[in-house]
Amino acid sequence: MTTQYCGHVPIVGHPNVGKSTLLNLLVGYKLSAIANKPQTTRTNLRGIVTGKQRLKVRGQEKDIHYQLIITDTPGIHQRSGNALNQVLNKEAVASLEQADAVVMMVEAGKWTGEDDLVLLRLSEVTCPVFLLVNKIDNIKPREKLLAYLQEASSKRDFEAIFPVSATRKINTDAVLQGLIPCLPESEFIYPEDYITDQPVKAICSELIREQLVLYLHQEIPYTTAVDIEKFEESEKLTTIHATIWVGKKGQKGIVIGKKGETLKRIGSSARIALEDFLDQKVMLKLWVKVEENWQNNPKHLSDLGIVSR
């Protein structure tokens, strides 16, 4: 009889280190926004990987039926001036409470003060901590990477260190192989066909917001939020109405753009991403509304689902 193993593994690290890319890769589906900007992830989004493998667990060869619940956390960062940033830090730290193993992710060739902050957050964690060194394809020559790995290994007694490239899928299979033996023997929490615990509307909101971050660049990328107000599915079409919230009146014009061109491009790209996710035609309508300083409004943060669990 195949034994079931199930457990929680959060991915922690500073913003823009590749956590969302890794989650999407391991799950095999684009669940989390992966725009190349800090603070793209705002909540603890869980991806679920269920499978079977024959592995050596605690010294014995076994047929493992596993369910790995991977949490993509907001980046832990040093600046936490507004309520939104404070919630993001709390979200990331809260993910450690029920962890069976932790993946700490860093960028190859770099070790910042924010990496030290992450390490500090992990100082009282008793479960296995793996160090995942991402973006190794950017480091040349190889000797430079080896020196970095040696230095990183001195920071903590890590369970294992994995040099990977999440975007190029280099050595990412080894991460999964390393995590499965850490899972406790347990019945599955979710049905085997689940890939996330998030509602479909929440994923759709993430996909729309990713396009905002991509198109707005450094102008107003982190003062926007997306609220799905209408979500109707039929046999051949999904209709989505969404409001884009901004924090200042002047930002509304930037999001809309001259003659509405920016909003039109955002909507077009978001619709393609949504159709790919939903595997169906999508009719998407976007509106832009202003709420001054919404990032410091606890009720608005709660309404948008950006809350500390």
The size of the chain, in residues, is: 309
What local confidence, expressed as pLDDT, does residue 309 receive? 37
What local confidence, expressed as pLDDT, does residue 291 receive? 84
pTM: 0.75
The amino acid occupying position 36 is N
Residue 290: strand, helix, or coil: strand
What local confidence, expressed as pLDDT, does residue 94 receive? 60
* Residue 307, token pair as written in the block: 């809350």
Q: Which residues contact 84 (CB under 8 A, 6 or more apart)?
A: 42, 222, 295, 296, 301, 306
Give the Cβ contact number of residue 54 at 10 Å: 10
Residues in the chain predicted with pLDDT less than 50, given as ranges, are 38-42, 77, 81-89, 92, 300, 307-309
- Distance, in Å, from the CA atom of 29 to the CA atom of 7, rounded to the nearest integer, reads 20
- Distance, in Å, from the CA atom of 260 to the CA atom of 253, rounded to the nearest integer, reads 9
Q: Please spell the DSSP secondary structure of 230-248, one letter per residue.
A: EEEE-SSEEEEEEEEEESS
- Looking from the CA of 177 toward its CB, the CA atoms found within 13 Å total 10
What local confidence, expressed as pLDDT, does residue 239 receive? 98
- Going by C-alpha positions, the residue among 162, 60, 68 that lies closest to residue 108 is 162
Looking at the DSSP bridge assignments, the partners of residue 113 are: none
Residue ranges and CATH numbers for the domains of the chain are 3-182 (3.40.50.300), 200-303 (3.30.300.20)
Q: Which residues contact 265 (CB under 8 A, 6 or more apart)?
A: 215, 257
Cβ(246)–Cβ(290) under 8 Å? yes
Looking at the DSSP bridge assignments, the partners of residue 240 are: 231, 284
What local confidence, expressed as pLDDT, does residue 308 receive? 41
